[in-house]
Homo-oligomer: A and B are copies of this chain.
Amino acid sequence: MNYQPRLDDIHFILHDVLKAPAQLQALPSLADTDAELMRQVVDEAGKFTAQKIAPLQGVGDTIGCKFAGGKVTTPPGFKDAYQDFWQSGWPALACAPEDGGQGLPAVLEAVLFEMLSAANHGWTMAPGLLHGAYECIRHHGSEALKAQYLEKVASGEWLATMCLTEPHAGSDLGLVRTKALPQTDGSYRLSGTKIFISGGEHDLTDNIVHLVLARLPDAPAGPKGLSLFLAPKVLPDGTGNAIHCERIEEKMGLHGSPTCVMRFDWATGWLIGEPQRGLNAMFVMMNAARLHVGLQGIGLLEAAWQKADAYAKERRQMRAPKPTMSSTPDPIAEHPAMRRILATQRAWIDGGRVLAYRTAIELDIAKQHPDATRRHSAQLWCSLVTPVLKAAWTAQAFSGSSECLQVFGGHGYVREWGIEQIVRDARVSMIYEGTNEIQAIDLLVRKVLPDGGAGLSSLLLALCEGLDNRVPAHAQLGTQVAGLNQLTSALVEAAKADQELPYWVADDYLRALALTLLAWAWLQISAASQPESSSVNPARWTEPSEALRHWVLPEFGMRQHIIESRLGLRMCM
């Protein structure tokens, strides 16, 4: 069974829950955002995904990418699907009209990539970094570079890579050793080896645009000495650049995406942005990538849930405990342990969608809302919520798809049902674009603590708008917000005396915020799915909402407990 986009769910969250069109109409370049157009784009994206991309999911895993003689062959069908994809204009959805794009809101691109990732994570890696590369070149590239590359990258006619990691430099990019020597014509020669380069080499497009972190001869050691360069596979004069794919990795999963070792053998490149400001230029790209990875998590979990849900309705084993027991075995979808697994994943999927789509909306608001205060709050939302989405939803994609595998029993462990592929594919999302541990440190140590918790506290205050403490679910969010504010204050204080401490509990802190955002997201869903306010069937939302309350949110108290006991605020039990 291939993944099938649930367009009704997506429309409901975009329109009924988030009121996306109204939000976006406040922005100058999106003033004529039209609800009907948004629905059409989502429907078309769903159709394309279901028809062209989802059917290639299995072959991407079983055949995978092949490497021979420096060349990579992608699985059968991948190239045609990609050509179809860019020629249909999908990569250019949210690019500026002056660059050949369609100028649509970022949230539509978010929806597109959630569906693509659900349908085929491996294939989707290819265009996954395109939009980030587009933004990077657009904002930091010279006019000459933009003239040469911007439209090709905007349209997706050429794919792009992000060449950061080296064998000895993973999370610590300050250790990057690739060298860049300036040439008299203004270009540079790049020398070094990059690893884990997704799409470093492939047969999907005629050219590949590599964005490469390297060090100028006079640059200081550490991250501040890094500069960013653009080095194409094929040079403007049509000759090949001295960039060689040495091998592709054998991986746990994601076989549809070639993970390349790339050797730059004094390859020709051009500086992007200022010398020694390479990380700054690349961060645009990395932040966009983090939201995309969060969306992958949501998509993968949805794909796993769909498989498990369908199987659980078909498979009959044992009679389920009920007041009136059946005389024959019941579908396992009626057994409490299975219902719990299935409804819990939906709680994460639906809530994650609210948060991820809102983040994509806030990205546009942060760029161009006329009101500076609103731009600021949008910026704050993106800054604080993005690492949470990346870490918590990729963790759930892995553990939750593993729970969906469990629904199949032994059949889940064999390949034919395709569920184990999702578990293997999903695992990498906890690592790339900054490991989940790095996300947690980014959130707590780099974002929450430096301003004494003020930013986080104002985000939480906004979540509490309109809470009515007589409603249990409202009261619960209030309790979590109060708890999180207390933890934050205590951590701000404690970190002054013990700078190591926040690093121990950063993961718990991120989880506590994730569970608070999730509680908030579900309040929005519940409000929008009230029978009187919507035509949507409220039963669709009741079971995951109950699962959230029973099985998911109690983790908040545990995280609180762990942080408090580490802070010495209470005894362990």
A contact set with B: CB distance below 8 Å:
165, 168-172, 174-175, 195-196, 249-254, 259, 316-318, 320-323, 329, 335-338, 340, 398-399, 402, 405-406, 409-416, 420, 423-424, 427-428, 430-432, 435-437, 440-441, 472, 475-476, 479-480, 499-500, 503-504, 506-507, 549-551, 553-558, 561-562, 565-566, 571-573
Q: Which residues of B contact A424 (CB under 8 A)?
A: 252, 424
Q: How many monomers of this protein are in the complex?
A: 2
Given A431-B410, A550-B566, residue A415 in contact with residue B252 (CB < 8 A): yes
Q: Measured between alpha carbons, how far is A412 from B301 in the docked complex, in Å?
A: 22
Q: Is B558 in contact with A321, judged by CB distance below 8 angstroms?
A: no
Q: Would you give 15 A-B contacts (Cβ < 8 Å), ordered by A? A: A172-B318, A174-B318, A250-B415, A250-B416, A251-B420, A254-B413, A335-B503, A337-B504, A402-B427, A409-B435, A410-B432, A413-B427, A424-B424, A475-B573, A550-B572
Q: Which residues of B contact A551 (CB under 8 A)?
A: 562
Residue of B nearest to A318 (CB): B172
Instruction: For the A-B complex with A171-B317, A553-B572, A557-B558 known, give 10 more contacts whose Cβ atoms are closer than 8 Å.
Output: A165-B410, A175-B317, A252-B423, A410-B428, A472-B572, A475-B573, A549-B572, A554-B558, A554-B561, A556-B573
Q: Which residues of B contact A169 (CB under 8 A)?
A: 317
Q: Which residues of B contact A420 (CB under 8 A)?
A: 251-252, 427
Given A336-B504, A337-B506, residue A561 in contact with residue B566 (CB < 8 A): no
CB distance from A204 to the nearest CB of B (A): 22
Residue of B nearest to A560 (CB): B554
CB distance from A202 to the nearest CB of B (A): 18
Q: Measured between alpha carbons, how far is A503 from B318 in the docked complex, in Å?
A: 13
Q: Is the interface of A mostly helix, strand, loop or mixed?
A: helix
Q: Which residues of B contact A507 (CB under 8 A)?
A: 337, 340
Given A250-B415, A399-B399, A420-B252, residue A573 in contact with residue B558 (CB < 8 A): no
Q: Measured between alpha carbons, how far is A144 from B543 in the docked complex, in Å?
A: 57
Q: Which residues of B contact A440 (CB under 8 A)?
A: 337
Q: Which residues of B contact A259 (CB under 8 A)?
A: 414
Q: Is A251 in contact with B415, judged by CB distance below 8 angstroms?
A: yes
The CB with the most chain B CB atoms within 10 A, among A409, A554, A573, is that of: A573
Q: Which residues of B contact A253 (CB under 8 A)?
A: 413
Q: Is B398 in contact with A402, judged by CB distance below 8 angstroms?
A: yes
Given A175-B317, A423-B252, A472-B571, residue A554 in contact with residue B565 (CB < 8 A): yes
CB distance from A254 to the nearest CB of B (A): 8
Q: Which residues of B contact A249 (CB under 8 A)?
A: 413-415
Residue among B322, B414, B550 making CB contact with A562, cutoff 8 Å: B550
Q: Is B573 in contact with A480, judged by CB distance below 8 angstroms?
A: yes
Residue of B nearest to A445 (CB): B321
Q: Is B398 in contact with A413, judged by CB distance below 8 angstroms?
A: no
Residue among B336, B432, B435, B566 making CB contact with A503, cutoff 8 Å: B336
CB distance from A325 to the nearest CB of B (A): 9
Residue of B nearest to A398 (CB): B402
Q: Which residues of B contact A412 (CB under 8 A)?
A: 431
Q: Which residues of B contact A432 (CB under 8 A)?
A: 410
Residue of B nearest to A478 (CB): B573
Q: Measured between alpha carbons, how far is A251 from B572 in the docked complex, in Å?
A: 42
Residue of B nearest to A172 (CB): B317
CB distance from A126 to the nearest CB of B (A): 18
Q: Is B431 in contact with A406, judged by CB distance below 8 angstroms?
A: yes
Q: Is A410 in contact with B554, judged by CB distance below 8 angstroms?
A: no
CB distance from A555 to the nearest CB of B (A): 6
Q: Which residues of B contact A499 (CB under 8 A)?
A: 321, 323
Q: Which residues of B contact A252 (CB under 8 A)?
A: 413-415, 420, 423-424
Q: Measured between alpha carbons, how far is A504 from B430 in the docked complex, in Å?
A: 29
Q: Which residues of B contact A571 (CB under 8 A)?
A: 472
